[in-house]
Structure 1
Amino acid sequence: MTIQTSLQLFTIRERLEADLDGTLAEVAARGFTAVEPYDFVRRAETMAAAVSSAGLTAPTGHAFLASPTFVRPDGSGTTAPVPPPAAVFAAAAALGMHTVIDPYTEPARWESVDGIAEIAQLLNEAAAIGADAGMRVGYHNHAHELEAVFDGVTGLEILAERLDERVVLEVDLYWVARGGVDPVALLERLGTRVIAVHAKDGTLDPALLDAYPPADQVPAGDGVVPLREAIAAAPALELAIVEFDHYDGDLFDAITRSRVFLDAEVAR
């Protein structure tokens, strides 16, 4: 199976808000053929037109499916309600997506197996609605799903055990490593459930690991996250997605270097 390289648009969120069309044109000029939109429901038609105009596709996108309100990237909750699954899938269809991935759930919900089971149930319910719309549902991890361990099993694996077979996983390799888990061994255990990875790299410098946004992220291949080996361990992988939560240098240079690394070293 060919692995397509994509870009999570949260990476370039400030540029995107300032100039949607020009920024996506630049993404295409940097050699990308696919992107992963976030917060796309409120601007589905506009985003779809800009993605198409740039000659890009959006096979996946991030939208909340297992939370009643928006969750900030730092894990804090809000009171702003999220769109219902039917509205999410309608917007995803307008963008030509085939998979909608829940990007985040609050860390407090991972403090018990019952909390994890509730998340699984909500994702399973969303998957049933999505199936009627021809859409898959997935879940994307951060570190807290790996830091939560019950009888030696990580929270993410407990979630996977309780998911309907239609629900897939998008594993963020940087956050797995930052959560203290070997990404290669994890992907071997999760098997065909994983259809996408965030091929994100970092130095994992202990002096920087308490920071949010992360202060140690580097272009793919420049850090210590075992990207090649982890991707090779995922037999059903469809997408290797470039993402930075934060980067102090030239961001477009960093995403280009990441794409070149992934296209040359791990795409198959």
Structure 2
Amino acid sequence: MTTPRLSIQLYSIRDQLDDLDATMKRIAALGIDAVEPFSIFDRPLELGIALRAHGLSAPTGHAPFLSDEIEFGGRMVPLPPASIAFQAAAALGVEILFDPMVAPHRWRTPSDVASTAERLNVAAEEAAQLGLRVGYHNHSFEFHNFFDGVSAYEYFVSLLDERVALELDVFWAATAGQDVPALLGRLDTRVRALHLKDGVLAADPFAPAASYDPTALELCSFGQGELGLDRILGAATSSEFDVIEFDHFDGDIFEAIDQSATFMREVRGQAVTNLTHDIA
């Protein structure tokens, strides 16, 4: 098994991205050489320049290419065609582009789930023309409904083209009540990236009538929470990318990233590539 590449989801440091150059310098100083943009449409030229300046790259990225519109700021906003997302991802050097979220109401019936799976299969064919892979990143609501004893998420996976990759968010899967190591065993080689968080497994913020508020999450540096990340990582035998993510953190986010990266290297047996800690 090849050691997965360690990465940081840029949503974790969204409040620091006004100064892309300084922030990418800090990430590089922590010995991390990969990042995952949460929107490849957000300042791609500036991001590409900052990444190259500090020896970083964006092998994975997010873009909502499986929807025609998304809710933003209390209103529905139309999205560009998937082809535009694929071109932007390829220009940034992304290897796998993940759709970050398909709305909860599209996971309630087998026919709705099948429609999304078909749309992703078509996207995989189109993206392949640009040398790009595509996939899906979950939250918890994909596990809320079951069809003949199978979660909507796993039913979805059963319909996917073999070229489609999965980015399993282990925290949201655990929040939904999944035994994550067992889930990883069932998904096997389909999982090509992990979204990794640790913290308190509290009430599901995506449950019906609940409300997602990142500041309400009790997240912590890896190994200090309730996830059992060492067991989860041991079950993830096909992941190519280990992506650190903090939806919210009360404290020094860069210190938390550094501690989490250290935990990951210890568990994975990964060498530090560029650890200078020169982040002044």
Bin the TM-score by the shorter chain.
Answer: over 0.9
Q: Aligned with 1:202: secondary structure?
A: coil
Higher helix proportion (structure 1 or 2)? 1
Say which SS state the counterpart of residue 158 (structure 1) adopts: helix
**Deviation sequence 1:14-73 (CA, Å, 0-9, x none):** 111x2111111111112211100121224222211111112111110000111111345x
Q: Tell me whether 1:256 sits opposite 2:253 in the alignment.
A: no
Q: Secondary structure at the match of 2:24?
A: helix
Most deviating of 243-252 and 133-142: 243-252
The more displaced of 183-192 and 34-43 is: 34-43
Contact (CA 8 Å) 2:175, 2:204: kept in 1 or not?
no
Q: Secondary structure at the match of 1:254?
A: helix
Residue identity in the other structure for 2:145: A
**Is the 8 Å Cα contact of residues 69 and 77 (structure 1) preserved in structure 2?**
no
Higher relative contact order structure (alpha carbons within 8 Å, sequence separation ≥ 6): 2
**2:177 and 2:163 mapped to 1: Cα distance?**
28
Identify the residue that residue 16 of structure 2 maps to in structure 1: 15
Structure 1 residues 84 and 236, CA gap change in structure 2 (3 angstroms): same
Aligned residues: 264
- The offset of 1:222, in angstroms, is 0.9
Contact 1:218–1:254 under 8 Å retained in 2: yes
Offset of 1:13 from its aligned partner? Answer: 0.7
When normalised by structure 2's length, the TM-score is 0.89
* Code of the aligned partner of 1:85: A
How far does the alpha carbon of each residue in 1:142-194 deviate from its partner, in whole angstroms, 9 at most, with x for none?
01011222222111111100111111100001001101111101000001000
Match of residue 51 from structure 1:
51
SS in 1 for 2:7: strand
Q: Secondary structure at the match of 1:201?
A: coil
Question: How far does residue 80 in structure 1 lie from its aligned partner after superposition?
Answer: 1.4
C-alpha contact 1:65 1:122 (8 A) present in aligned 2: no
- Matched letter for residue 258 of structure 1: S
Say which one has the larger Rg. 2
Query: What's the counterpart of residue 133 of structure 2?
Result: 136
Deviation, 1:207, is: 10
Letter of the 1:102 partner, please give it.
D
Alpha carbons of structure 1 residues 78 and 207: separation in structure 2 relative to 1, 3 Å: closer
Q: Distance in 1 between matches of 2:157 and 2:91?
A: 29
CA 1:71/1:218 → structure 2, altered by over 3 Å: closer, same or farther? farther
Secondary structure in structure 2 of the residue aligned to 1:123: helix
Corresponding position: 1:151 with 2:152: no
Instruction: Provide the C-alpha distance between the structure 2 equivalents of 1:169 and 1:147, rounded to a whole number of angstroms.
Output: 18
* Shift, 1:234, TM fit: 2.2
Ranges in structure 2 where 5+ consecutive residues have no aligned partner = 271-280
Residue in structure 2 matched with residue 194 of structure 1 by the alignment: 191
1:86 pairs with one of 83, 90, 115: 83
2:235 matched residue in structure 1: 233
User: Which whole-Å CA distance do the structure 2 matches of 1:133 and 1:89 have between them?
Assistant: 8
Contact 2:8/2:36, CA 8 A, preserved across alignment: yes
The whole-number CA distance in structure 1 between the counterparts of 2:259 and 2:39 is 26
Q: Is 1:113 aligned to residue 115 of structure 2? A: no
In structure 1, runs of 5+ residues without a counterpart are: none
Given that 2:12 and 2:247 are in contact with CA atoms closer than 8 Å, whether structure 1 keeps it comes out as yes
In structure 2, relative to structure 1, the CA distance for the partners of 1:267 and 1:173 (3 Å cut) is farther
Q: Percent identity?
A: 42
* RMSD of equivalent CA atoms: 1.9
Q: Is the 8 A contact 1:35 1:56 kept in 2?
A: yes
CA distance in 2, matches of 1:32, 1:233: 23
Instruction: Supply the AA of the counterpart residue of 2:175.
Output: R
